[in-house]
Structure 1
Amino acid sequence: MPAERPPLVLASASPRRRDLLARIGIVPDRILPTETDETPRREELPRQLAARLAAEKAAAAAAHAPGALVLAADTVVGVGRRILPKAETEAEARRCLELLSGRRHHVYTGVALRRPDGGCGTRLVDTVVAFQRLTEAQIAAYLAGGEWQGKAGGYAIQGGAEMFVRFLSGSHSNVIGLPLFETAQLLRGAGWLRP
């Protein structure tokens, strides 16, 4: 890879995103999480929220990392027009799991790569996931494990919730929090990765 390539900054504190990047041999030069208000705007759809937040996070981090490539992402779980929260309480996670039980939902991740010249490449990835019908015992056992904390839609597909998935169409890494194919495309397009 060219020696003159700019440093890569990951605008995320998510260990899952760092782990996903490591799977494809990418180690950011710097981790720079941002404080971004993730409240949906009035009538904002799940896919719009994911795209907007990724771009806002990239812009916010770029202001503190001149000369760097800044990679940001945001993952949103949507059921129809409804945006599910990043569950902070067990009650919130329970409501999410009860809503997702026996039905399909969409996991959207917006990815933004802001270049040192201020340009920004973006991707929006949509993965369809269907859960089996969950029993009360399954929900209670999953909640007891605690891996739902801070997760969009109240679950982590890379953990115990994977056994609930009866159908998935699209990118598995997207559901974890960063679609690797699209992220690599953005990095290649910016000249950071070899073609």
Structure 2
Amino acid sequence: MKNTTNGPFTASSPIILASGSPRRRELLSDLGLEFTVEPSSAEEPLPNPGEKPLEYVLRMAEMKTLDVARNHQGMTILGADTIVVLENRIMGKPSGKLDALDMLTALSGQTHQVVTGFCLVLPDGSRLSRAVSTDVDMRVSTEAELMGYIETGEPMDKAGAYAIQGIGTFLVTAIRGSYTNVVGLPLSRVLDALLSQGIAVTRY
């Protein structure tokens, strides 16, 4: 799948997005960069004992990116992974409705961090990885409200069981940091990395 949109930037060499996330695809498209999508098929293992959230999210981002890069030498591969962290508890995608309720109940009325790690494998084979964290404040929600949200189906493929850009926006009272990071890709940091490597250039 090739994505082409108008925007202030263009790609100087081929880019592959190693993610099937429509949110990441839309964010990257907004820059105007041409890229193709090839989601990683790598399994997502649980955190290792004692592994810190930052270490885990970077390991996941690098694993997904390298999985796709193996078959595309000489191209730029961008992969990412997003987790929700509450007092060092790492929350990925819920395994079912009860797991989603457990996550959302724990997050209710609390401040948590959304951490996205991204990895670039460059045409010369070198690798650049970064992680960005955003603080998110959640309103106090009743179990009935949370169950109603879960029944929409939206939480089931989202880290922490909610989507700030979707129906789940009602859960969030404030954020401190990058909004796009909470959506799934810290766009300004990704752009800075692409510009620094000459992969993205201004269109005009």
CA drift of 1:81 comes to 1.3
Query: In the alignment, what sits opposite 2:189?
Result: 182
C-alpha root-mean-square deviation of aligned residues, in Å? 1.7
CA drift of 1:2 comes to 8.4
The structure-2 alpha-carbon separation of the partners of 1:2 and 1:49, relative to structure 1 and needing over 3 Å to count, comes to: closer
Question: Which secondary structure does the structure 2 equivalent of 1:26 belong to?
Answer: coil
Alpha-carbon distance in 2 for matches of 1:168, 1:66: 38
Structure 1, unmatched stretches of 5+, are: none
1:143-182 alpha-carbon deviations (Å, 9 max, x no partner):
1111001110011111111111112001111111111001
Q: Residue 33 of structure 2: which of 1, 26, 31 is its match?
A: 26
Tell me the TM-score normalized by structure 1: 0.93
Query: In the alignment, what sits opposite 1:108?
Result: 115
Query: In the alignment, what sits opposite 2:152?
Result: 145
1:110-166 alpha-carbon deviations (Å, 9 max, x no partner):
011111212111211000001011112211211111100111001111111111111
Tell me the TM-score normalized by structure 2: 0.89
Question: Which secondary structure does the structure 1 equivalent of 2:188 belong to?
Answer: helix
Query: In the alignment, what sits opposite 1:71?
Result: 78
Query: Aligned pairs, how many?
Result: 194
Q: Residue 44 of structure 1: which of 39, 44, 51 is its match?
A: 51
Kept after mapping to 1: 8 A contact 2:91/2:159: yes
Question: Which secondary structure does the structure 1 equivalent of 2:68 belong to?
Answer: helix
Moved over 3 A (4+): none
The structure-2 alpha-carbon separation of the partners of 1:28 and 1:38, relative to structure 1 and needing over 3 Å to count, comes to: farther
Kept after mapping to 1: 8 A contact 2:135/2:175: yes
Alpha-carbon distance in 2 for matches of 1:30, 1:191: 20
Alpha-carbon distance in 2 for matches of 1:85, 1:8: 27
Q: Look up the equivalent residue of 2:47 and give its one-letter code.
A: P
Query: In the alignment, what sits opposite 2:174?
Result: 167
CA drift of 1:7 comes to 1.0
